[in-house]
Chain A
Amino acid sequence: DTGVSQNPRHKITKRGQNVTFRCDPISEHNRLYWYRQTLGQGPEFLTYFQNEAQLEKSRLLSDRFSAERPKGSFSTLEIQRTEQGDSAMYLCASSLGGANAEAFFGQGTRLTVV
């Protein structure tokens, strides 16, 4: 399967712990997006990379959140000092360049903070 891959699929952590998620985009896709989705809501944009450059961050991305894409391939999303409000599905998507290129989503990482 050459789709977008996210790991882990599920993560349970205690409040205050740090967590890191990984996203492997479709190869040759230079754009990579992170979204967050809470129950009953549509996904919310968090951040966007073009190759290794992080070009946009949402106001939702507090200083406890950091995302990287060090070599323009895979990406990581780290949450420090997790809070119960961080419990959500974290989705990664990738696309080719071009203004209208459709994005393909991974299956997401479901985070539960207890």
Chain B
Amino acid sequence: DAKTTQPTSMDCAEGRAANLPCNHSTISGNEYVYWYRQIHSQGPQYIIHGLKNNETNEMASLIITEDRKSSTLILPHATLRDTAVYYCIVSDRTTSGTYKYIFGTGTRLKVLA
């Protein structure tokens, strides 16, 4: 089962910031939070990931709470092309000692003109 919970859907006005929340209350100390998005009929696109410090790249910012039980992905100026399903993932340790992603159903973000 996915280790994260997200709202099913959200709307955001074009040009405004989109704030996508994610709860991961069972996260362990060495597990990272990853964000991907998927536009219809395409493969998931990596956005950003972090452990405990806030992270920013050219696509988005990731804000992780101090207790690490939740995070927020921020798209600072949403455009119509940001309409997609956004997945928040906490990687799951495999039997071989590495990590795999367990996806939930994500948040369907619709950016409105």
Contact = CB atoms under 8 A, between A and B. Distances in A.
B43 A105 contact: yes
Interface of A: 4, 6, 31, 33, 35, 40-45, 48, 50, 55-56, 91, 93, 99-100, 102-108, 110
A99 B98 contact: yes
A3 to B, nearest CB: 9
Q: B-side binding surface: helix, strand, loop or mixed? A: loop
A102 B46 contact: yes
Contacts, number: 65
Contacts of B36: 105
A105 B45 contact: yes
Interface of B: 2, 30, 32, 34, 36, 41-46, 49, 51, 87, 91, 94-96, 98-106
B100 A45 contact: yes
B102 A107 contact: no
